[in-house]
């Protein structure tokens, strides 16, 4: 049998991408603490994880921060995307586009440091935000995720057929009504994807959170990061497995839903 080189490349490429993750999942069920010993299947690390009050509190904080920041980010990001694609000829438009997309390329260390310096300065002048806590993390995460959401929604707005919007306007619908009846349903899949991406980014961020989080606002990645400095541990394996499972299931469900919605629209516009 002749060996097909594309299949060989794909095999090694995907091995490289997935082997490390599979290792984590497998060893999260290992009874022994050591990687070298496989002493049987066990769920004890999951039990240990779920009864750890510090981890549970950090998870709750992280979920709260991610939910709020993703929601605000989607609202502001959608508005920014509409401004970029639909509004023409206002002063400083190119500056607007540049400033909205710039956080995409900002190193996280710089973004975290600069936003912290802003908070310290504001506290000195206005007395707000008094100290640092969950609110400061949420604000920083909105700034981080805003550009991603704007880019996603903007790409979708640029794709779709403007004649439907124009027809509705010609038939006398108000711009607001056109937005809610026509534009919003059309761009909804990308809004959902944007929300998920913002949520995942916020749930994942350790650098910015370390700069702006107060004493009471330790997020889950901060806990994971500080325990990783001491090397590998089976509890983290279990935590990583749970996170990976939840995030991949969420992404796959969203991808299928978006795909279905797209193909539906494809049929209806034909």
Partner 1 sequence: MYRIEELIIYRLTNLAKKITGRNFLISLPSAWIIVFFLCPCFILLKISLSDSVISSPPYTSLVDWISGNVLQIRLNLGNYMSLLSNEMYMRGFATSVLIAGASTICCLLIGFPMALAIVRSSPKVRAMLLTLVILPFWTSFLIRVYAWLMLLSPSGFINSFLMKFHLIDAPLQLMNNSYAACIGIIYAYLPFMIFPLYSAIEKIDYTLIEAAYDLGSSPMTAFFSIVVPLAMPGIYAGSALVFVPAIGEFVIPELLGGAQTLTIGRLVWNEFFGNLSWPTAAALSIILLMFVVFPIVLAQRRKEIRLLRDVR
142 is an interface residue for partner 1 by CB under 8 A = yes
**Contacts (CB under 8 A) with partner 1, residues 50-69:** none
Contact 30, 38 (CB under 8 A): yes
Taking the C-alpha atoms of residue 39 and residue 5, their distance in angstroms, rounded to an integer, is: 39
Binding mask 172-191 for partner 1 (x = CB under 8 A): ---x----------------
Structure tokens at 6: 């594309």
**Contacts (CB under 8 A) with partner 1, residues 189-228:** 200, 203-204, 206-207, 211, 221, 224-225, 228
Taking the C-alpha atoms of residue 24 and residue 126, their distance in angstroms, rounded to an integer, is: 47
Task: Identify the burial level of 51 via C-beta atoms within 10 angstroms of its C-beta, where 0-12 means exposed, 13-18 middle and 19 or more buried.
Answer: exposed
3-class secondary-structure state, position 42: coil
Angstrom CA distances, 248 to 21, 46, 56, 64, 90, stand at 12, 19, 21, 20, 41
Nearest approach in angstroms of CB 207 to partner 1 is 5
Angstrom CA distances, 266 to 55, 214, 260, stand at 45, 48, 10
Number of amino acids touching partner 1 (CB under 8 A):
75
The residue from 2, 3, 20, 40 that contacts partner 1 (CB under 8 A) is 20
Nearest approach in angstroms of CB 265 to partner 1 is 18
The residue from 15, 21, 54, 167 that contacts partner 1 (CB under 8 A) is 21
Nearest approach in angstroms of CB 252 to partner 1 is 8
Listed residue (228, 211, 222) closest to 139, CA to CA: 211
Q: Which residue has the tokens 């403007």?
A: 162
133 is an interface residue for partner 1 by CB under 8 A = no
Contact 28, 237 (CB under 8 A): yes
**Contacts (CB under 8 A) with partner 1, residues 60-119:** 76-77, 79-80, 82-83, 87, 90, 96, 99-100, 102-103, 105-111, 113-115, 117-118
Nearest approach in angstroms of CB 123 to partner 1 is 9
The residue from 1, 17, 125, 267 that contacts partner 1 (CB under 8 A) is 17
């Amino acid at each position: 049998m002749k060996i097909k080189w594309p299949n060989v490349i794909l095999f090694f490429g995907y091995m490289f991408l997935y082997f490390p993750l599979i290792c984590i999942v497998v060893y999260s069920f290992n009874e022994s603490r050591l990687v070298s010993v496989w002493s049987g299947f066990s769920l004890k690390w999951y039990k240990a994880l779920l009864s750890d009050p510090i981890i549970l509190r950090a998870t709750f904080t992280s979920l709260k921060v991610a939910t709020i920041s993703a929601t605000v980010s989607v609202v502001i990001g959608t508005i920014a995307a509409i401004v970029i694609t639909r509004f023409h000829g206002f002063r400083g438009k190119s500056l607007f586009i540049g400033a909205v997309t710039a956080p995409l390329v900002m190193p996280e260390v710089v973004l975290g440091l600069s936003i912290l310096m802003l908070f310290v300065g504001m506290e000195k002048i206005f007395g707000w935000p008094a100290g640092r806590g969950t609110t400061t993390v949420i604000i920083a995460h909105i700034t981080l995720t805003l550009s991603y959401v704007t880019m996603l929604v903007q790409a979708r707005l640029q794709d779709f057929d403007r004649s439907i919007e124009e027809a509705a306007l010609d038939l006398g619908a108000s711009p607001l009504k056109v937005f809610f009846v026509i534009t919003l349903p059309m761009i909804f899949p990308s809004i959902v994807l944007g929300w998920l991406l913002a949520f995942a980014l916020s749930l994942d961020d350790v650098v910015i959170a370390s700069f702006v989080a107060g004493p009471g606002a330790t997020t889950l990645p901060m806990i994971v990061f500080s325990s990783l400095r001491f090397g590998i541990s089976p509890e983290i394996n279990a935590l990583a497995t749970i996170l990976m499972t939840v995030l991949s299931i969420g992404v796959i469900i969203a991808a299928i839903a978006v795909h279905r919605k797209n193909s539906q629209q494809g049929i209806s516009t034909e």
